Structure formats: C-alpha cells, structure tokens
Amino acid sequence: MEVIKTASGIGGLLTSFRELAKDSKKVMFIGTTGFCTPFAELMAYVIRDAPIEVGFIPDIRHHEAKAIISTPNGMQIGDDIDHHADTVVLLGGLAMPKMKIDVENIKENLEDILEGAENRLVIGICFQSMFETQCWIGPIDFDYIIDSDLSASTIKL
C-alpha cells in the first residue's frame, strides 16, 4: 500500500473520489441502507455534471439497485437501475461487524456487478480504517481506498 494523496475535510474526501471516478461510465455504490445511503448521494454530487451513470445497491442486494439522480433538492435515490457497472464503490458501513456481511458475499457480488466491464475499478471509501481493521483488504481486490477520519466537537455557548 502506498499513500498517493492526502486531503482534509469533506471537500478533500469528495475531490479525491471525483479524481478516481472521472473516467468511469457507470459507478455503483454498495452500502448499508440508511447509514451509507447519504454518503453515496454526497459522493454522487461531485460527479453530477459528468457523463457518468450512478446507482446504489443496498447491502449486497444487487437486484434492488436504484439510480442516484440529480434533483432540485440534491442527489436522491431514484428508480430501479441495472446493477452492472465498470466502477464499484464499497462503503465502509458494509464492513462494520454489526452488519454481519460476509466479505465472501461481497466478492461474489463484485464479480457479478463488474461482469463485462472493460475497465474495472474497485474503490473503498471508509472512515477510521474500517476495511483494514475488519481484514477486507486482501480478500477484496481494491484498486484504491479513500480512508478518512472524522472528528467532532460539541460546543456549549
């Protein structure tokens, strides 16, 4: 593993993703329902003007793939979409132990989603090294991982 770029904040996270996905034809995010969905919509926002089709697969149920569409209210989940893509973004919520998602099932789904794609790209986006701590690096053949840390301060005035 080699760090090829560092950035900070949400802007850095989004810019890093946009740079990796810029040559994709279709990006399919895979994440947990609820927790990962808004992150997929946020990531999709930075490629909204590119000629890239975008979708979201809840958990590993690729038969439930939905489009992520641009609306006057931002990026939102839309209608059904074909689950095949040339770029897959695995979101870190999948690797959280409480989700009980088997990494082997993810591998099988990746092969199905990427079937027929000429240029395959697998990106992981997580917080606090989730893919590394849950031993998904190796079993999943990531091309890139964007690993971010998040800090928060609650201030009483």
Can you give the CATH number for the domain in which 25 is found?
Answer: 3.40.50.2300
The C-alpha atoms of residue 80 and residue 83 are separated, in whole angstroms, by: 9
The C-alpha atoms of residue 70 and residue 11 are separated, in whole angstroms, by: 19
12-45 pLDDT per residue, tens: 899 999 999 999 999 999 999 988 999 999 999 9
The answer to whether position 154 is within a domain reads no
pTM given for the model: 0.93
The C-alpha atoms of residue 59 and residue 49 are separated, in whole angstroms, by: 27
79 contact partners, CB below 8 Å, separation of at least 6: 66, 67
The answer to whether position 36 is within a domain reads yes
- Total domains present in the chain: 1
40-68 pLDDT per residue, tens: 999 999 999 999 999 999 998 999 999 99
The C-alpha atoms of residue 123 and residue 89 are separated, in whole angstroms, by: 5
